[in-house]
Amino acid sequence: MPMLDLARFPRLPLLTQPTPIEPLDGLTRHLGDTLNGVRIFVKRDDVAGIGLGGNKLRKLEYLLGAARAEGADTVVTVGAIQSNHARLTAAASAQAGLACELFLTRSVPRQDPDYTGNGNRLLDDVFGATVHELPGDADSLAAAEARAAELRGQGRRVYTFPSGGSSPTGCLGYANCAAEILSQADQLGLSFAQIITANGSAGTHAGFVAGLAAMGLDTTLAKSFAVLAEDARARAEVLEKANATLALIGSERRVSPQDINLDGTHRGSGYGIPTDGMLEAVRLMARTEGKLLDPVYSGKAFAGLLHDVRAGLYPAGSSVLFLMTGGTPGLFAYKEALAG
């Protein structure tokens, strides 16, 4: 099996690895022939570690590892009001004994209390982060960098990272996960026709691409469904971040646009805006498996997977793996949409 050695990069353990891979037997029984003989498995990063879990912990292991290696006492990052990344940064910082400041933008046009004060936003406060709320059109990263400079002027040692933790260092988390999945598949006697994830800030997909490329494998094995940026921009971000991560790893390989497998057709009218497909996917997973997809990321991505399977994209008897990225607190911010 191909190998990937990331041991030289500082890492702060935040989750128990490997996270399990499980078959969706209840969903299979319910959908029957409409699955066309395709078996769907899930990679349970939603149950990993602290702060109610989620894919951002893999990125934070390397980001906070780097922060600790640099002697940081404070981390500053950005996101939307219901950012899973912000919530997990607050939780991981609390565990690591670091101060945490979050710059959160009102990126979704909602002002109701469910959205502005529940779910992830509630937990940011519970975990003790200092939260700065900004208008939806604000440059949150510029504001965060200005605050970091102010804190440094006070003698603090500050480490900043972008939305989703999707820097090359953060992307190492999913490069490592690509190797983890291949090892698990080998142990389970499985061969996945596709590994599928949601694409927000592009770091999870870019990490997968970089990991597969560094191991000399076909990068189109990893497919994402865009939920934030429109198709062309999402592709460009995955490409740029994957190549930056490959450079960081020290691999000579680089990827091209044709190496990026991305679908932008299940985004709907915008980031955080519910779609019929997302609502069906969230309810179907909950009512056949007792597992929770979130309404912003994995709900839309799983809707895309169901569409592709029903359309016959995968041969009968093949297996596909869906990355459950967490985001459960976000469900409580979408009470009205999910009622019924």
DSSP-derived 3-state class of residue 236? helix
Question: How many degrees, rounded to 5, is the angle at CA 327 between CA 53 and CA 284?
Answer: 115
- Write the CA distances from 174 to 53, 58, 180, 254, 257, integer angstroms: 15, 7, 9, 17, 19
Q: How far apart are the first and last CA of the chain?
A: 47
Per-residue pLDDT, 114: 93
Q: Out of 3.40.50.1100, 3.20.20.80, 3.30.300.30, 3.40.605.10, select the CATH number for domain 21-54+167-338.
A: 3.40.50.1100
Distances (CA, A) of 199 to 141, 230, 235: 20, 10, 10
Whole-number pLDDT of residue 174: 98
Written out in words, the top-level CATH class of the domain with range 56-165 is: alpha beta
Domain ranges of the chain: 21-54+167-338, 56-165
How far apart CA 164 and CA 161 sit, in angstroms, is 8
Q: How far apart (Å, rounded) are the C-alpha atoms in residues 248 and 242?
A: 10
83 is catalytic: yes
pLDDT at 340: 65
- Calculate the alpha carbon distances from 311 to 69, 240, 257 in Å: 49, 31, 25
Residues 6+ apart with CB under 8 A from 142: none
- Whose tokens are 């997968």? That residue is 208
Mention every residue, 6+ apart, whose C-beta is less than 8 A from residue 143: 78, 103, 132, 134
DSSP conformation letters of 156-206: --EEEE-GGG-SHHHHHHHHHHHHHHHHHHHHHT--EEEEEEEESSSHHHH
DSSP class per residue in 87-154: HHHHHHHHHHT-EEEEEEE--SS--SHHHHHSHHHHHHHHTT-EEEEE-TTS-HHHHHHHHHHHHHHT
| CA dihedral of 143, 147, 150, 154, whole degrees rounded to 10 | 180
Give the distance, in angstroms, between the CA of residue 139 and the centroid of all CA atoms in the same chain.
Answer: 22
For position 181, what pLDDT does the model report? Answer: 98
Q: What is the pLDDT along the chain (340 residues), one digit of tens a residue?
A: 678 999 999 999 998 779 999 999 999 999 999 999 999 999 999 997 899 999 999 999 999 999 999 999 999 999 999 999 999 999 999 999 999 999 999 999 999 999 999 999 999 999 999 999 999 999 999 999 999 999 999 999 999 999 999 999 999 999 999 999 999 999 999 999 999 999 999 999 999 999 999 999 999 999 999 999 999 999 999 999 999 999 999 999 999 999 999 999 999 999 999 999 999 999 999 999 999 999 999 999 999 999 999 999 999 999 999 999 999 999 999 999 998 6
Fold match, 21-54+167-338 / 56-165 = yes
Active-site position among 83, 107, 166, 251: 83
Q: Which two tokens stand for residue 335?
A: 């009470």
Reduced to 3 states (helix: H, G, I; strand: E, B; else coil), residue 48 is: coil
